[in-house]
Amino acid sequence: MIISMKLHSTKEEIAQVKARIEEFGYKVHSIEGEERVVIGAVGVGDVTNCLESLEAMPQVEKAVRISAPYKFVSKEFRQAKTEIKVRGTVIGGDEFVVMAGPCSVENEKQILESAEIVARAGAKILRGGAFKPRTSPYDFQGLELEGLKLLDKARRATGLGIITEVMSDRDVPMVAEYADILQIGARNMQNFSLLKTLGQCGRPILLKRGMSSTVKELLMSAEYIVAHGNPQVMLCERGIRTFETVTRNTCDIAAVAALNELTHLPVILDPSHATGKRSLVPALSRAAVAIGADGLIVEVHPNPEKAMSDGAQSLDPKQFAQMMEDLKPYIELWKRRPELAAQHVAV
């Protein structure tokens, strides 16, 4: 249920409504604006009687039932886009945000050079894997804590925010100590113990869509994190597994537009994993801007031919700089979305 309070409701009035909701067996989650508070209620209880009771309270403007199975991440719960602040950058706001860097943190020289490359080209967030889930147990697994410390050093050298993957609920406190954003990889999208822990970590989360997961399943996984106390969630389309073999995965570009209709959470596209080919990354990045994504997460390496993982899909410094330059006219149109929408309505 969503309960919309009347304008300028007092803290005491809000507390009374929350207490009434809890009497019916529901958990409470509220969004507090400058003038109005919206309260979400989730759980199992007597919906009809609860709604009638709440609507009878003088401080309640409206109480409605949410039809979507994902409550807190639904557009029914919140119309305005969630904005996530990371070191002066706002994701989900009026800036198209690019996160970029190597698949893996390999050594100090490599990650510091990568940070300088992506910062110079206009990226705001440095990506780099300290923990690497690999299909083969013999492949490079990451530098772990040493890698986190190197990412922190790169942040202090460049001012970039840091995003890195966390694979286990037991590692969340350690990774949160160093990272600005915690990334959940496709293989862990439905690791529910991890998702619950992320709900209490206090850091923004980038949740990647599972390789064989539906959009609804992605949203339900995001609901786990938000319902456990963390509203700072971004969704990432990174390609799904289909019968197609010409690309590493099949990019469900329509999912970006669909998610923008269904949820208030920011939507990020990963063109590197979606294609597996560096030659296709720039074109798909332009498509991401055009279809309304809030940002990109791109793999960039100082020397892709020598990368310890995902070299084939990593852009080199020159290619990344050119891609960022080519994106500028698309981003200028992207920034006019509210203006264009108003023009469309006027016509």
Structural domain harbouring 175: 84-339
CB–CB of 236/209 below 8 Å? Answer: yes
User: Which pTM value belongs to this model?
Assistant: 0.88
pLDDT for the residue numbered 254? 97
pLDDT for the residue numbered 77? 84
345 occurs within a structural domain: no
| 333 CB neighbour count, 10 Å cutoff | 11
Regarding whether 53 and 188 lie in a shared domain, the answer is no
CB–CB of 150/179 below 8 Å? Answer: no
CB–CB of 207/239 below 8 Å? Answer: no
How many domains does the chain contain in total?
2
> Domain ends where: 36, 64, 92?
64
Q: Residue 53 belongs to a domain with what CATH number?
A: 3.30.70.1140
The tens place of each residue's pLDDT in the chain, 347 residues long, gives 889 888 888 989 999 999 999 999 888 877 666 556 888 888 877 888 999 999 999 999 888 888 888 988 999 888 889 999 999 999 999 999 999 999 999 999 999 999 999 999 999 999 999 987 666 766 666 798 999 999 999 999 999 999 999 999 999 999 999 999 999 999 999 999 999 999 999 999 999 999 999 999 999 999 999 988 899 999 999 999 999 999 999 999 999 999 999 999 999 999 999 999 999 999 999 999 999 999 999 999 999 999 999 999 999 999 999 999 999 999 999 998 765 554 444 32
Regarding whether 183 and 43 lie in a shared domain, the answer is no
pLDDT for the residue numbered 231? 92
Q: Give the 3-state secondary structure of residue 102.
A: coil
188: which residues sit within 8 A by CB, 6+ positions away?
133, 167, 194
pLDDT for the residue numbered 344? 41
Regarding whether 145 and 18 lie in a shared domain, the answer is no
Q: How far is CA 125 from CA 2, 57, 190, in A?
A: 34, 46, 25
76 occurs within a structural domain: no
CB–CB of 215/258 below 8 Å? Answer: yes
CB–CB of 66/102 below 8 Å? Answer: no
pLDDT for the residue numbered 36? 67
pLDDT for the residue numbered 215? 98
Regarding whether 44 and 106 lie in a shared domain, the answer is no
347 occurs within a structural domain: no
Regarding whether 156 and 101 lie in a shared domain, the answer is yes
Regarding whether 192 and 253 lie in a shared domain, the answer is yes
